[in-house]
Amino acid sequence: MSKISGRILILFCLILLLTVNLFAEKITVWTWYDGGLGTVFRDLVQKEFVAKTGIEVEILSVPIPDMVNKLLLAYLGGDAPDIVELYTNQVVELGVRGALMDLSVFPDFDKTVDGLYPNYLKQLSYKNATFAFPCEIAWPWTYVRKDLFQEYGLDIPNTWDELKVVSTKLKARGLGTYYDHTGDASTVLASKFLALVYQRKTDIYTPDGTASNLDAPEVVDAFNLFTSLYTDHGLLVEDPIITTFANGDTPLGIMQAWYYYAFENAAPHLAGKWTVAEIPGTIDSSGTIDRSSNSNGLSWSIVESTKKPDLAWEFMKWLASPSFTENFSRGIFESSDKVRIYCATKGFLDNAPFPEDHLEVAQNALLNCRQPTAVVGGYVADRYIDFAFYKVYLEGADPKEAILQAAKDSTDEIQRKLREFARFISKFQQIK
């Protein structure tokens, strides 16, 4: 072969390679997964999704606190990703404004969501649209230093009334009881309050999502109990719980599920000395204990501006599959990070790397979780619950008056947002 022929062949190969790359099927995904979790995620995408579908995936790590602002800027600039990972409470606000696709338009949507626990879709849907699939989820449950409870002759509380008694007895010993629900920093108290509301078979918003329900008698009753836990029975508002649980200063904490691996990793010397139980419940009219609790977490959405919706949908279906959730959870637990995550795929815990002695508790907690009605303006309206709590806790205000004021302020906020978003909302008709 002559030098000229060789050069022509090389040039032809380069042109062919560039052409293939130019027209390759490729999507871009923004995720908060980085470090060890990011490595497991990327490896799984390559080995399971890319290898089987031929669809290339570009993965960019974006810190979750910056995600929404970066997404909006990229969306307006025409450079948004195809798929994005968001907190569940951010989804509907973005979806209603037209930034996220309605996933229910895809023909196999119903088949896909049938594999997910329906209670985790509520906060991701607005009327006839669903804007995301849940991925990681978290729920609150009770962590107890069982060695200390045995020493003090205490039983794990099954109801909030029993928690009052336990908390008072611990306080008499100079020890603490803590109730945390790590979520959006501005609405932590609202998140904690929801469990007591759900256990009364109601919600903080009306079913149609147009007003607050904080003035309902059941919700007022729940708020009275909630504030009394702190004002009368000594629950701690703040506590460095990982430290105090380990040293015994706070032997009972009601906290999210991710604390499980935090205690495993931070306090291995406590192995066998602590246990978990479901969140305290409320005795209902039938005499059974309602242990409903609230959840929050992360979700996956397709950005409305994507030019490759079909490719993005294939990736979304894979993210919602047992194959992904089970392999991802196992991969990160077996990594050096030793992290445990929980997903909304049906039967997830059956095959997840979770201790057998606590598996039933985890399964019950997962099934008993609820999410709030998705409300336009709810992200802001939730804060009025926090304001009402601090009026009672710090200023000694009457709980009923405080929560009724919160109901009015929340409804006003929702109504303002409904007027502001009216041009977007009009296309969403039938409530699911």
Q: 78: helix, coil or strand? A: coil
* CB hemisphere CA count around 306 (13 angstroms): 24
pLDDT tens digits along 123-159: 899 988 999 999 998 888 999 999 999 999 999 999 9
Q: What's the length of the chain?
A: 432
> Is residue 14's pLDDT more than 80?
no
Considering the domain architecture, whether residues 190 and 112 belong to the same structural domain is answered as no
Domain assignment of residue 261, yes or no: yes
Domain assignment of residue 362, yes or no: no
**In the predicted model, what is the mean pLDDT of residues 73-97?**
93
Domain assignment of residue 63, yes or no: yes
Considering the domain architecture, whether residues 165 and 259 belong to the same structural domain is answered as yes
Q: Which of 385, 372, 199, 396 is nearest to 292 (CA)?
A: 199
Structural domain harbouring 175: 140-294+376-410
**In the predicted model, what is the mean pLDDT of residues 96-108?**
94
Taking the chain, what is the end-to-end CA distance rounded to the nearest angstrom?
69
Considering the domain architecture, whether residues 173 and 192 belong to the same structural domain is answered as yes
Residue 278 belongs to domain with CATH number? 3.40.190.10
Q: Which of 1, 37, 92 is nearest to 432 (CA)?
A: 92
Q: Which residue has the higher pLDDT, 232 or 1?
A: 232
In whole angstroms, give the CA distance from residue 41 to residue 46: 9
Computed over every residue of the chain, the mean pLDDT equals 89
pLDDT band at 180 (very low <50, low <70, confident <90, very high): confident
> Is residue 207's pLDDT more than 90?
no
Buried-exposed string 46-75: b where 16+ CB fall within 10 A, e elsewhere: eebbeeeeebbbebebbebeebbebbeebb
Considering the domain architecture, whether residues 34 and 172 belong to the same structural domain is answered as no
Q: Which of 187, 382, 363 is nearest to 291 (CA)?
A: 363
Q: Can you give the pLDDT at residue 11?
A: 53
pLDDT band at 432 (very low <50, low <70, confident <90, very high): very low
Domain assignment of residue 430, yes or no: no
Which pairs count as long-range contacts for 238-246, CB under 8 Å and 24+ apart, including other chains? 239/176, 239/178, 239/180, 241/178, 241/180, 242/266, 242/267, 244/176, 244/178, 245/143, 245/145, 245/274, 246/270
Considering the domain architecture, whether residues 144 and 133 belong to the same structural domain is answered as no
pLDDT band at 382 (very low <50, low <70, confident <90, very high): confident
Domain assignment of residue 263, yes or no: yes
pLDDT tens digits along 284-294: 989 999 999 98
Rounded to 10°, the helix 188-198/217-231 angle is 120
* Strand boundaries in 67-106, DSSP class E: 83-87
* Pairing outcome for strands 129-130 and 133-138: unpaired
Considering the domain architecture, whether residues 129 and 114 belong to the same structural domain is answered as yes
Domain assignment of residue 126, yes or no: yes
> Is residue 13's pLDDT more than 60?
no
**In the predicted model, what is the mean pLDDT of residues 112-133?**
92
Cα separations in angstroms, 218 against 160, 297, 388? 15, 27, 16
For the chain, the domain total comes to 2
Best-predicted range by mean pLDDT (57-61, 118-122, 295-299): 57-61
Considering the domain architecture, whether residues 196 and 133 belong to the same structural domain is answered as no
> Is residue 16's pLDDT more than 60?
no
Residue 375 backbone dihedrals phi, psi, to 5 degrees: -125, 130
Q: Can you give the pLDDT at residue 21?
A: 42
Contact, 209 vs 375, CB < 8 A? yes
Q: Which residue has the higher pLDDT, 249 or 119?
A: 249
Considering the domain architecture, whether residues 75 and 107 belong to the same structural domain is answered as yes
Considering the domain architecture, whether residues 160 and 285 belong to the same structural domain is answered as yes
Domain assignment of residue 230, yes or no: yes
CA 89 distance to own-chain centroid: 8
Domain assignment of residue 121, yes or no: yes
Considering the domain architecture, whether residues 190 and 279 belong to the same structural domain is answered as yes
Return the amino acid letter for 293.
S
Q: Can you give the pLDDT at residue 358?
A: 92
Considering the domain architecture, whether residues 49 and 85 belong to the same structural domain is answered as yes
pTM, two decimals, is 0.88
pLDDT tens digits along 323-368: 999 999 999 999 888 899 999 999 898 888 888 889 999 999 888 9
Considering the domain architecture, whether residues 158 and 66 belong to the same structural domain is answered as no
pLDDT tens digits along 268-283: 999 999 999 999 999 9
